[in-house]
Structure 1
Amino acid sequence: MTAIWAGIDAGKTHHHCVVIDDTGKRLLSRRVANDEGELLKLLGDVLALGEMTAWGIDLADGGAGLVIAVLLSHGQHLLYIPGRAVNRASEGYRGDGKTDAKDAAVIADQARVRRDLMPVRPGDELVTELKVLTGRRRDLADDRTRAINRLRGHLTGIFPGLERELDLGNVGPLVLLTGYQTPAAIRRTGVRRLATWLRNRKVRGADQLAAAAVQAAENQHTAVPGEKITAQVV
């Protein structure tokens, strides 16, 4: 019974597949689009080369999602080889430093010789949904952190005293910055009017926040170069 091993170097728009036999000889090397029709054609061509086929791939999600689904839905035996393991293993193979074809060949050969690789199985729908949702939550948290750090950087450049007073992880200080960013503007407004402005926007602790902002403004009477344009982007 002829055994073959197919390695897939997965990408976002294209994958590269290399098929080898039990001696390591290349039987096929092909770049394919990340498209169902192209992947089905590749599957048929690979299966025609041998009676027993094992596949290896270096991604378990993302751009590899479709090719994994195609292979598993057709009952293929698929092994996951982490990209770091591929990089380490590739140092022991001859050829170009790093190409998609070489990586695919390394993946195929690792699938042939290693016995410790984990098989990829059809994913549980709930697990997949949770993975997507937690990834989205992490992205939103990262975006919020970047936005706050950017605000702090801008504010430190023109009004460091106010930056020290504000906890930008809270809503109230963010609301304050939508209307007031410079010492002069806050001094002109004063504590009473600023507190009223904040209360009208449902800010908790409006009096304390207004007092802290005005005190910071009283401590800085120097206008920093670039203050006007920076205030517009805060």
Structure 2
Amino acid sequence: MTDETGIDVYLGLDVGKGDHHATAVSRAGKKVFDKPLPNSEPKLRELFDKLRAKHGTVLMVVDQPASIGALPLAVARDAGCQVAYLPGLTMRRIAELYPGEAKTDARDAFIIADAARAMPHTLRTIDPADETVAELAMIAGFDDDLAGESTRIANRLRGLLTQIHPSLERVLGPRIQHPAVLRLLDQFGSPAQIRKAGRRRLVTL
């Protein structure tokens, strides 16, 4: 995002689960707001409306566009503010240019706002389609994690079966994730118990 035409105030939001820290700076770099902000729609909307009424066009910038940053973005857009985000790696590099090393919410919020004012080329736009893609990526990533964990558990079971009874592993191993096979192992537990159960009980189960 490189076009800052028409922006009157730059609002940096260091987002948090319960509270954010909001710092707004004017085009001249003067702080016009610098306070903690509860993570609630009414409080967010109140701030956005106040800044727009007093200063004009507001650009709100966050360092996390997904998860805990989703509500401020949605409310800001609905309130008529422009929105963007400053990637985390870029922010860390920019932070090195500012005095002081202590990492605080207030300092981070100011850096986000001032970077938006002085270095608009570092910002990234946020389109509704981008948010949808991010949400889908998160869901798909969760599914991938579950699939990976399922595969690891199946491989461990096959490894144990190979140690105990290689012949049984050759029969059950390829079907180890089938509910019937898992139930059989859970019910009888060992090759000896499976043999003792007999064909009829196994088929019934």
Question: Structure 2-normalised TM-score?
Answer: 0.74
2:163 aligned to which of 145, 160, 174: 160
Residue number in structure 1 paired with 2:189: 181
* CA shift in 2, pair 1:97/1:49, >3 Å: farther
- Aligned residue identity for 2:95: S
1:18 aligned to which of 17, 23, 30: 23
Deviation at 1:82, TM superposition (A): 1.4
1:43 aligned to which of 39, 43, 48: 48
Larger Rg: 1
- Which structure has more RCO (C-alpha within 8 Å, separation ≥ 6)? 2
- CA–CA distance in structure 1, aligned partners of residues 136 and 183 of structure 2: 28
**Total equivalences in the alignment:** 194
- CA–CA distance in structure 1, aligned partners of residues 70 and 64 of structure 2: 9
SS in 1 for 2:146: helix
* In the alignment, structure 1 residue 149 sits paired with structure 2 residue 155: no
Q: Does the 8 Å contact 2:13/2:61 carry over to 1?
A: yes
Residue number in structure 2 paired with 1:112: 117
Q: Does the 8 Å contact 2:14/2:108 carry over to 1?
A: yes
SS in 1 for 2:55: coil
1:33 aligned to which of 16, 19, 38: 38
Deviation at 1:152, TM superposition (A): 4.9
SS in 2 for 1:32: strand
Alignment of 1:127-146 (within 5 A): 128=132, 132=135, 135-146=138-149
Bigger shift: residues 40-49 or 53-62: 40-49
How big is the alpha-carbon RMSD for the aligned residues of Structure 1 and Structure 2?
Answer: 3.3
- Aligned residue identity for 2:126: V
- CA–CA distance in structure 2, aligned partners of residues 162 and 60 of structure 1: 52
Q: Does the 8 Å contact 1:96/1:102 carry over to 2?
A: no
Q: Does the 8 Å contact 1:54/1:78 carry over to 2?
A: yes
Question: Structure 1-normalised TM-score?
Answer: 0.66
* CA shift in 2, pair 1:160/1:134, >3 Å: farther
Deviation at 1:24, TM superposition (A): 3.1
Where in structure 1 do 4 or more consecutive aligned residues deviate above 4 Å? 130-134, 150-159, 162-165, 169-172
Q: Which runs of 5+ in 1 are unaligned?
A: 202-234
- CA–CA distance in structure 1, aligned partners of residues 135 and 9 of structure 2: 34
Bigger shift: residues 148-157 or 102-111: 148-157
Residue number in structure 1 paired with 2:83: 78
The CA deviation string for residues 61-91 of structure 1, in whole angstroms up to 9 with x for no partner, is 2222221111111221212211222122212
